[in-house]
Amino acid sequence: MSRVRIVTDSTAHFLDPDFPRRHNIAVVPLTIRLGEATFRDGVDITTEKLLERVSPNGPLPTASAPRPEQFTAAYNEIASSDNSILSIHLSSKLGSVCHNATLGSDPLRGRCNIQIIDTGTISTGLGWLVEAAATAAGAGMAADDIVRLVRGLTHKLYAAFFVDSPDYLANNGRFGRAHSILSGMLGVKPLITLEEGDIVPMEKVRNRQQAVEKLIEFIMEFSDLEQAAILQSTPHLTEDTRLLLNQLAIDFPDRKFPVAVYGPSLATYLGPGSMGAIVFESEPDEV
């Protein structure tokens, strides 16, 4: 039986950073641009270093998908030893990664079985799906069965973030510039979620305490949690993080909530000072 190999992109966030290496996962990096400077996401730049480089009134960072030839190179390397590839990527509504992965697979058509999966998610959610696929592949599951597994799991992922500076969303075309300026003047902070793979507004709050309370409400909607993680822009626990974790410890006394830094690609949308939660919901009969 042919071994199935997994490819993903650098927006996938792994709580265990060593997971891709141990499971022989190819990670194709996005390109981060800030003015004239370019960086490989997760290779040349971290979220902290990226946000430190943003100057007042200067350009804001953007992220662009790997070129099709980058995917072709990754697929060619794998095809030299394996002929079945699952390429698992962030939502196609957040960029052209899936499109470029498909173009990159064309030169290998007929030589290697490559399936592209649009997960409709990003960051830790994408990482969890890649982990599930890699674990299944390691257990010898067939490619088509892994595709069905991953697509079934995508419907159990949910995410919500509050954004401290809506200018980053506006810079990516996700928030009207005038709306962004008005929000800044009024001091409100947007809460956003992923809905059908796209970033959509949930509501606005007046301060960070209200934002944290809304995140707590969001997490508490799920009585059956498979996994959940808190994402923020710094590796250090903030006052907001402690408030969130303290309340979650009361509501979910037997569960740990890992805190991680969202990656540079996601930082181009969220900017500094933002925080969010990604939830992987269990099926009721799995509890």
- Domains detected in the chain: 4-30+65-154 (3.40.50.10170), 157-286 (3.30.1180.10)
CA dihedral 49, 55, 59, 65 (to 10 degrees): 10
Q: pLDDT tens, 176-190? A: 443 443 344 345 788
pTM for the structure as a whole: 0.91
Looking at this protein, which amino acid is placed at residue 212?
A: V
Q: What helix, strand, coil percent values describe the chain, rounded to 5?
A: 40, 25, 35
Q: Could you tell me if 118 and 98 are in contact, meaning their C-beta atoms sit under 8 angstroms apart? A: yes
Question: Shortest CA distance to 216 belongs to which of 228, 201, 227, 204?
Answer: 228
- Look at 22 and 2; give whichever has higher pLDDT: 22
Looking at this protein, which amino acid is placed at residue 271?
A: G
Q: What is the pLDDT of residue 215?
A: 94
Helix (H) or strand (E) holding 75: helix 68-79
Q: pLDDT tens, 185-211? A: 345 788 899 999 998 888 888 788 899
* pLDDT band per the 50, 70, 90 thresholds, residue 82: confident
- Order of all β-strands in the sheet with 37-40: 37-40, 31-34, 62-64
Q: What is the pLDDT of residue 283?
A: 66
Q: How is residue 172 written in tokens?
A: 């990516």
